[in-house]
Chain A
Amino acid sequence: MVKYILRRLLTMIPLFLGITIVSFLVIHLAPGSPVTIQTDLNPKMTAEARERLRKFYGLDKPLHIQYYNWVKHLVTLDLGRSFSSDGRPVLDKIKERLSITIFINILSLLLIVLVAIPLGIFSAVYQNSLFDRSTTVFVFLGFAIPTFWLALLLMILFGIHLGWLPISGLKSINYEYLSPLNQLKDRAAHLLMPVLISAFGGLAGLSRYSRSNMLEIIRQDYITTARAKGLSESKVIYKHALRNALLPVVTILGLSVPGLIGGSVIFETIYAIPGMGQLFYSAVMMRDYPLIMGELVIGALLTMLGNLLADISYALVDPRIRMR
């Protein structure tokens, strides 16, 4: 098992380098430069001053040297300094945003797992029942609803018409004066819609996936064997079939990480949540190269971590994987 994990970790290194190279090229080959954006509106700016600024950011060097320097710093966990006027280290800027995004994503992953898997499994077990049919319709609608539209609709309904939930930010203005219990309630009320929205896409996908998986498993020979030897139906389903049906679901969870991270741009913008997505959006608008690179790297790392965890848990439960 240790050997398997080590091998898996080693294959991540070239993968990671590949990702950084693609990101670096995409960002630096784009027309225009951060210097123009920062200086365009300043009439006193001279050509020499622009050149100095370029030099200051290291943008005057050839691309491969820039990349080499960037990797050299990365090895010491230094993602460079932001191009924005505060000039703070990129890592610090990301750190203060990362926890809230991860927190929301973990909550929505939990929600997805707790709702989608039972939904899919029961649909499969009671195939063609009323429950199955209505879930199928729900899933079908769920696939087609744009999440940002749903977010707006929920805001209109619960935030504006009913006034039950706050529509933006993470806490109320009077948060500091609330009792601890009310503080918790306030937090929960602010997080409810964002978590729901970020979970929504995965919900439809995963329940559908676990349904088709379970359907396939139920038709396998060993399930027939289990029935033939006289096991009770519940034992057949919940012991023999369920375990095997859940295996591939783990992998899908790992693969859903990039979607969740990408989706954070949308729900954080809509609900004005100061997280990774919002930071990325403003970094892109200001052409803050180091910050964009930093975010892409962290995003890719989280994705690879998700995949790694999925693979490890898969290998733990399925000995056939470890052999390969």
Chain B
Amino acid sequence: MKLETLINNTPESPGRIFWKGFKKNKLAVCGTIIITALFIIAIFAPVIAPYDRDAINTKEILTPPSKIHLMGTDELGRDVLTRIIWGSRVSLLVGFVAVGIATIIGIPLGALAGYYGRSADGLIMRFVDVMLCFPTFFLILAVIAFWEPSIWKIMLVIGLTSWMGVARLVRAEFLSLKERDFIQAARALGGKDVRTIFRHILPNSLAPVLVNATLGIAGAILIESALSFLGIGIQPPDPSWGNMLTAGKDNIEIAWWLSFFPGFAIFITVMGYNMLGEGIRDAIDPRLR
């Protein structure tokens, strides 16, 4: 090999290596396309939606899918497709905010437990154990019902009850990273704890957190739709895929389309995030396949 080629071949940055692996991964690309499409739909909902979201039409109650109403109409004669398009806003918002909250709580707790060990670790991990022993869904149900459901409360409560996974993950990463030579070196050079944690350890432990967060969004969307389905999530007339399914259940013997389409929307969205999460995981660490 010539000297020039050697010199010109600067090593690839981690970001580029990740991007290369990501592009090749069919799952990740599919996931990205689905999620992007959903964002476009959610942002441009008022433009895309064929009908008025809340317009009640007593002449067209529970009409099956047709050319006029592609996904039929509901028990008040509202267009199902229009309401599904508007409902995407709820799902996207809930997913991101809830997981954001969980990550913001989980990272510092996991970092503290993993870095300092001893009593900090003991205390934090016991608290994690307590939270893991709850039938979480029961707890969420009680809290939301008591505090009068609203989208912000739902996101907050889902976030507050789902940070344990992040904390455990970050803790495990910290436990193994802090013994590594480059961290030991940073400490030996007299680096402060705060700097070691945020500058040296945390960036190296973010990959699994990112995967976990992507999959967590899917989980949060499922919980929100289940709550709305049970009537204690997003309240009608605001459309969410979950509360549309409630109408589907009430009319299950006469209107299958009311049950089918909103659920299908949840399914596709959740699958999109799962694909993206798995794709990122593969791109980061091909061994895990």
B245: which A residues are within 8 A, CB to CB? Answer: 148-149, 152
Contact among A19, A153, A262, A300 for B263, CB-based, below 8 A: A153
Return chain B residues, CB-CB under 8 Å to A255: 132
Task: Decide: B134 and A299 in contact? CB cutoff 8 A.
Answer: yes
CA distance A128 to B126 in the complex (A): 41
Verify if B88 is at the interface (C-beta below 8 Å from A): no
Are A284 and B141 touching (Cβ within 8 A)? Answer: yes
Contact present for A295 and B138 (CB under 8 Å) = yes
> Total number of A-B contacts with CB less than 8 angstroms?
130
Instruction: Report if A270 contacts B (CB, 8 A).
Output: yes
**Cβ A15 vs Cβ B133 within 8 A:** yes
Question: What's the minimum C-beta distance from B270 to chain A, rounded to whole angstroms?
Answer: 4
Q: Please name all residues of chain A whose beta carbon is closer than 8 Å to the beta carbon of B127 when the two chains form the complex.
A: 18
Instruction: Give the residues in chain B near A30, CB-CB below 8 Å.
Output: 143, 146-147
Q: Which residue of A lies closest to B222 (CB)?
A: A146
CA distance A300 to B141 in the complex (A): 15
Our pick among A19, A31, A149, A295 for the contact of B130 (Cβ within 8 Å) is A19
**What residues on B are CB-neighbors of A99 within 8 Å?**
none
Q: Is B198 an interface position by the 8 A CB rule?
A: no
Q: Which residue of the partner chain A has the closest CB to B140?
A: A262
Contact with B along A89-110 (1 / 0, CB 8 A): 0000000000000000000000
Task: State whether A31 touches B271 (Cβ < 8 A).
Answer: no
- Give the most central of A32, A143, A270: most B CB within 10 Å: A143
> Within 8 Å of chain A (Cβ to Cβ): is B248?
yes
Interface of chain A: mostly helix, strand, loop or mixed: helix
Q: Which residues of B contact A269 (CB under 8 A)?
A: 230
In the complex, the answer to whether B230 meets A153 with C-beta atoms within 8 Å is: no
Binds B, one of A21-29, A79-87, A113-121, A230-238: A21-29
CB-CB under 8 A from A261, the residues of chain B are: 135, 138
Please tell me the number of chain B residues within 8 Å of chain A, measured between CB atoms.
42
Inter-chain CA distance A76–B31, complex, in Å, is 54
| B contact residues around A167 at 8 Å (CB) | 252
Interface flag for B142 (CB, 8 Å): yes
Whether A144 contacts B132 by the Cβ 8 Å rule is: no
Give min CB distance, A218 to chain B, whole Å.
14
In the complex, B12 has a CB within 8 A of chain A = no
Binary interface profile of B, 227-270, with partner A (CB < 8 Å = 1, else 0)? 00110000000000000010011001100100110011011101
Instruction: Write the A259-273 contact mask toward B (1 if CB under 8 angstroms, else 0).
Output: 101110110011000
Interface residues in A5-53 (C-beta closer than 8 Å to B):
14-15, 18-19, 22-23, 26-27, 30-32
A–B Cβ pairs within 8 angstroms, 28 of them: A14-B126, A18-B130, A22-B130, A22-B131, A27-B142, A30-B147, A32-B146, A141-B271, A143-B271, A146-B222, A146-B263, A148-B225, A148-B263, A149-B245, A149-B263, A149-B264, A149-B266, A152-B252, A152-B259, A156-B252, A265-B230, A266-B226, A269-B230, A281-B230, A292-B142, A299-B138, A300-B134, A300-B135
